[in-house]
Structure 1
Amino acid sequence: MRKSWINLNGVWEFEFDDYDLGESEKWFFGRDFSEKFVVPYPYQSRLSGINDPTPHDIVWYRRKFSVPEEYLSKRALLKFGAVDYEAKVWVNGKYIGSLLSV
């Protein structure tokens, strides 16, 4: 068990990207997303607030949060509880990496 951590469950910003425009239009730099939904639920779930069973190949999620001052000098680990296939991750507009689930 970690000694300290920040739970990022709750309301996130959300956008479907059915035309694969997000990266080329730099959505990671703060574009307003049209939807909000509740993590840890998938967008297909009624509990998420979206409740859209339609398949979407690309979706964007954004969460703004503050890091407590005592954490600023420490190494951070961002853990995703569920990623369905691939995720690319930006923090403050900077690409930090990707992950692929198999």
Structure 2
Amino acid sequence: MFMKGKDVVAMGTAGAAGAATGVVTASTVYGGAIAAANAAGIYGAAATSSALAGLGGGALTVGGAGMAGGVAVVAASAALPAVVVGAVGFGIYKLLKP
């Protein structure tokens, strides 16, 4: 079963809207963490490390997921809204399509 031209355009549009939403969400999450690190007087690479470890639940030595966990949080905050917005947008198109 192949998709028709309008369906492909609608899927692309829904995917682009989802990706844009995901980027905004991820940048907000990461930006907030960096702002908190800067407020604590940490700048540059140390701020990035601190922000990612904070998002990951703390350093590995204290039982958190560390920077890897922070990267996973930022990635999930981009992926989840992208999938949801894309799927809902395309679903609405299919529902309302004549």
The TM-score normalised by the length of structure 2 is: 0.19
The TM-score normalised by the length of structure 1 is: 0.18
Flag the structure with larger Rg: 2
Structure with greater helix percent: 2
